[in-house]
Amino acid sequence: MNAFHIDRRQVRHNFGRAAASYERHDALQREVQQVLLGRLDFYLPSPARVLDVGAGTGRGSALLKKRWPQAQVLALDLALPMLQAAKRHAGWLKPFQRVCAEATRLPLPDHSVDVLHSNLCFQWIDDLPALFGECARVLRPGGLLAFSTFGPDTLKELRAAWAAADRQPHVGRFLDMHDVGDALINAGLRDPVLDVDRYTLTYSEPRMLLKELQGLGATNADSARERGLTGKSHYRAMLAAYEAMRVDGRIPATWEVVTAHAWGPPPGQSRRMAGGGEIASFSLDSLRGSRRR
């Protein structure tokens, strides 16, 4: 697994700033959301609590509430302005609830979530053991985790264009499907199934893609990024390199999307440590019961 670090404060800043513009640019996110909703067909019971991690402006949370109107749906995001924007999708009779928190520190009790859903959020988290460890902790045994994230070929054209201009990291890095699958298994999540799809969006010019990324808040948050302004000569070199990639008169942008689902582990199932050992967790009540016997 490639080591890289994401600046969480920058992620929060980027998405908070994009709250007002996000839904003008989220066509791909809505398309992937429909694919991800198909994953929820695997969950046949009626859930009591559904958690939407990285809920953004709440479109996905509203769809989850529509699917399961009797469930408590929690829309969780680390950017408060996004949750404020989500109010318009929350409904008024039985609204979904909004929670500002990080995915690696979920403010929920153990085994309290029946369905954990996340659409194109997990790529902004570099600590997969912490992320999936929290998912495994809050899911009820047999609860469903369904999510989508971006794979390493995402924005490969833009990355190549910047590489022709300078050596600084201008485009975020994304983990391979196999790294994601290993992290799910190591966290104790059961029977993971992962699929990859590639979408190619086209633009009239490279600046239109950059405008879209900024409108989404999906700009570079790599801790190793250049903190100052990009020089005009480097920017022009990047544009020239990208222009050379035109296909049928359009600028292509690849998005590699990984969709996955897995199941919450039973109590006491061990999870793997980074060094190869295993950790088993048990409820306090089960330990007390064993002691009485």
String of DSSP letters for 112-175: -EEEEEEES-GGG---HHHHHHHHHHHEEEEEEEEEEEE-TTTTHHHHHHHHTT-SS--S----
CA dihedral 277, 283, 288, 293 (to 10 degrees): -70
Report residue 178 as tokens: 């196999």
pLDDT band at 272 (very low <50, low <70, confident <90, very high): low
pLDDT of residue 261: 96
57, 23 contact by CB (below 8 A)? yes
The domains located in the chain, with CATH, are 8-149+175-196+257-292 (3.40.50.150)
pLDDT of residue 91: 85
Summarised one tens digit per residue, pLDDT across range 74-127 is: 999 999 999 999 999 998 878 999 999 999 999 999 999 999 999 999 999 999
51, 138 contact by CB (below 8 A)? yes
Starting at the edge strand found earlier in the chain, the sheet holding 72-77 runs 97-100, 72-77, 49-53, 113-119, 139-150, 251-263, 190-203
**Rounded CA separation 187/139 (Å):** 12
Cα-based angle 177, 118, 102 (whole degrees, multiple of 5): 105
pLDDT of residue 5: 85
- Identify any residues that bridge with 199 across adjacent strands, giving them in sequence order: 255
Summarised one tens digit per residue, pLDDT across range 145-180 is: 999 999 999 999 999 999 999 888 888 889 899 999
The more confidently predicted of residues 28 and 226 is 28
Average pLDDT, the chain: 89
Residue 149 dihedral angles phi and psi, to the nearest 5°:
-155, 170
Residue 153 class from Cβ within 10 Å (0-12 exposed, 13-18 middle, 19+ buried)? Answer: middle
Q: In the predicted model, is pLDDT for residue 228 greater than 60?
A: no
**Rounded CA separation 29/35 (Å):** 10
Q: In the predicted model, is pLDDT for residue 38 greater than 80?
A: yes
pLDDT of residue 14: 95
In this predicted structure, which of 18-32, 174-188, 229-243 has the lowest mean pLDDT?
229-243
Q: In the predicted model, is pLDDT for residue 284 greater than 50?
A: no
pLDDT of residue 85: 97
> What is the per-residue burial (b if ≥16 Cβ within 10 Å, else e) of 187-220?
bbbbebebeeeeeebebeebeebbebbebbbbbb
pLDDT (average), residues 176-192: 96
Among residues 262, 45, 20, 278, which one has the least CA distance to residue 135? 262
Q: Which amino acid is at 241?
A: A
pLDDT of residue 43: 83
pLDDT of residue 277: 45
Percent of the chain, pLDDT > 90? 75
Cα-based angle 287, 141, 29 (whole degrees, multiple of 5): 140
Q: Coil, strand or helix: which one is 61? A: helix
pLDDT of residue 227: 53
Residue 253 dihedral angles phi and psi, to the nearest 5°:
-140, 120
pLDDT band at 130 (very low <50, low <70, confident <90, very high): very high
pLDDT of residue 226: 60
- Identify any residues that bridge with 271 across adjacent strands, giving them in sequence order: 279
- Identify any residues that bridge with 193 across adjacent strands, giving them in sequence order: 261
pTM, full prediction? 0.88
Q: In the predicted model, is pLDDT for residue 275 greater than 50?
A: no
